Amino acid sequence: MKLTDRINRIQISPTAAVITAADQLKAKGLDIADFGPGEPDFPTPDHIKQAAIEAIHGNKTKYTPTGGIMPLREAISAWHQRELNSNYEAKECVVTVGGKHAIFNVASVLVQAGDEVIIPAPYWVSFPDIVKYTGATPVYVQTSVEDGFAVRADAIEKALTAKTRLLILNSPSNPSGGVTPPDEYQKILAICRKNNVWLMGDECYSHFTYDPNKPFSIASAKDSKDHVIIIGSVSKTFAMTGWRIGYTLGPAPLIQALIKLQSQSTSNPTSIAQYAALAAMTGTMDTVPVMLAEYAKRRKRIVEGLNAIPGVKCGQPGGAFYAFPDVSAHLSGPHALAKDTTELATLLLDKACVALVGGDAFGAPGYLRISYATSLDRIEEGLRRLDRFFSRAEAAA
């Protein structure tokens, strides 16, 4: 079939592909230790579900304004100010169909062929493809495990060219869990300002940071507004991945352009989900520390367990809910298990019934992404299977 160049430039999200493959095996009755999904395993809090039920009964089931209902735009701006010390008004906020949609739309209105977009690696799988879809060129900047995968201002500066228009900074990072320290983030903003580059902060994991890291937004920096765009989502913070509500905060003219794009594409995000998100943004946040405490326990166990497996090295992620071990020892030499981590992930699913995503998809050859948004019991089971798989390989070597 003849398709457009722009659709041929991108691939199906590799994380979605892993989830599909794991689901197919589960449907056949296999017990899979599933470290694939990047979503909380906790239910959406009751008061949020209740708000959606009330919205249905109250017939809030019609079109809403394209950019979201005004009370939600106000609530998101107020929540962001309260939680992350920013200073946005409702007119500087647009409600989207999840954070991914927010990123896609911002890229669509800001960059095009001939532009460059800096993406620190390891990166979330969708960043490069969203950029490629617009016709712009992704430019990767490596971060390192030794530095906790923090993004560094000097590395960003080196990657700038006259064509650079946007930098996408995701902290805490999916897949590495890396957190960029606030003072470094400020330096990066100064570089962006000097070079007239937009700084897009993807804050989807803002509230999943482990001690001593704290939730941080670059929008808290003085005079940040003219160069900063904030992307956020209720997906992770409120365990609401399926509801599909995200947002963009930024200068009003940009928000107007985003609303124009939505008016000719998705129209408004689902009305009922918007009322649920309104309850999330205005109600209690007491489930967040409960989830975080549980993730902290799991993080400790999984990092310890991974480091006990032959040929596997794993640092402490500073945030999010992913462990990102280096398994490159198993990918080289005469006893290499696979040619790359994509092949290794397929082997692990087929031979060990463990679902995870190879680092190649995230611009990190030699690494695996393991989501620990699953129970400690399942983590123990997954660790046992990984240990058996890699120990056997080691014994054969």
Ligand X SMILES: Cc1ncc(COP(=O)(O)O)c(C=O)c1O
Residues within the interface to ligand X (CB under 6 A): 38, 98-100, 124, 170, 174, 202, 204, 233, 235, 241, 246
- Nearer residue to ligand X within complex by CB, 124 or 149: 124
Residue 301 φ/ψ, nearest 5 degrees: -65, -45
CA distances from 226 to 108, 194, 221, 289, 346 (A): 19, 12, 11, 33, 45
CB of 204 to ligand X, least distance (A): 4
R_g over Cα of the chain: 21
- Nearer residue to ligand X within complex by CB, 77 or 235: 235
- Nearer residue to ligand X within complex by CB, 235 or 287: 235
CB of 218 to ligand X, least distance (A): 15
CB of 335 to ligand X, least distance (A): 34
* 96 vs 197: CA distance, rounded Å: 23
CB of 99 to ligand X, least distance (A): 3
- Nearer residue to ligand X within complex by CB, 16 or 290: 16
- Nearer residue to ligand X within complex by CB, 104 or 389: 104
CB of 231 to ligand X, least distance (A): 7
CB of 76 to ligand X, least distance (A): 13
- Nearer residue to ligand X within complex by CB, 87 or 241: 241
- Nearer residue to ligand X within complex by CB, 45 or 99: 99
CB of 245 to ligand X, least distance (A): 8
CB of 142 to ligand X, least distance (A): 18
Matching residue, tokens 């941080």: 216
* 234 vs 51: CA distance, rounded Å: 15
- Nearer residue to ligand X within complex by CB, 102 or 197: 102
Structure tokens that stand for 353 in this block = 């019934």
CB of 206 to ligand X, least distance (A): 11
Is the preceding omega at residue 172 within 30 degrees of 0, hence cis? yes
* 54 vs 11: CA distance, rounded Å: 39
- Nearer residue to ligand X within complex by CB, 98 or 177: 98
Residue 283 φ/ψ, nearest 5 degrees: -95, -170
CB of 37 to ligand X, least distance (A): 9
Is the preceding omega at residue 122 within 30 degrees of 0, hence cis? yes
- Nearer residue to ligand X within complex by CB, 130 or 329: 130
